[in-house]
Chain A
Amino acid sequence: EVRLVESGGGLIQPGGSLRLSCAASGLSVSSTYMSWVRQAPGKGLEWVCIIYNDGRTYYADSVRGRFTISRDNSRNTLYLQMNGLRVDDTAVYYCGRVGHGYTIDSWGQGTRVTVSS
């Protein structure tokens, strides 16, 4: 059974940095595509970034240059380094395994990030 557990969220001031983690079990983060998707309070979903099994990474325009997706194969953990945080980055951040095409077939429970002064 696939299990994804996010951590690292919290309250941060605008301009600050935060690193989210996603500990995986039941799959190998190095062997599959993994993504981060976020959901602002009371809003819809936004695909943030993806990392391929070969290490290539891609980002939404809204976060490119500020966010970095990475993984630690030895820890079987996915990360999202978020720099230059803005108020509109406030959201629940979900990690997920990418299934067919760019769909998410396994989701974590999410971690909440609040950017506010």
Chain B
Amino acid sequence: EIVMTQSPASLSVSPGEKATLSCRASQSVSSNLAWYQQKPGQAPRLLIYIASTRATGIPARFSGSGSGTEFTLTISSLQSEDFATYYCQQYMRWPSFGGGTKVEIK
């Protein structure tokens, strides 16, 4: 089983600032890494796949980077609608998700 660890667990950011979220895999997943956004009471939404490819309709302020075991999701200028919980997911082996990073308003 590949264990995904996200940090920090929560992040307080002011609107307009940049947010950097980290995800680490217990073994290499190459670029088989996705990011999702989830708001309370809603289903997750796919943001990024293949570590850095934005899904359809995702704004350019969301960017993903990394390969192997270390990955980053960057939100360049936080908008009010971006305050949510973000999950990484590997699909190198049976899919597994990280524990999430909650991005809160500062």
Contacts and interface: CB of A to CB of B under 8 A. Distances in A.
Contact of A104 (B32, B44, B50, B99): B44
Interface residues of A, number: 18
Interface class of chain A by DSSP: loop
A23 to B, nearest CB: 15
B71 interface: no
Interface residues of B, number: 23
Contact of A107 (B43, B87, B89, B99): B43
B46 A45 contact: no
A44 B101 CA distance: 10
Interface in A55-93: 58, 60
Contact of B46 (A46, A103, A109): A103
B49 A110 contact: no
Nearest to A35: B95
Given A94-B43, A103-B91, 8 more contacts: A44-B97, A45-B36, A46-B97, A47-B94, A100-B49, A101-B49, A103-B89, A108-B43
Interface of A: 44-47, 58, 60, 94, 99-105, 107-110
12 contacts: A45-B36, A45-B89, A45-B97, A58-B94, A60-B94, A99-B49, A100-B49, A100-B53, A102-B91, A103-B89, A104-B36, A107-B44
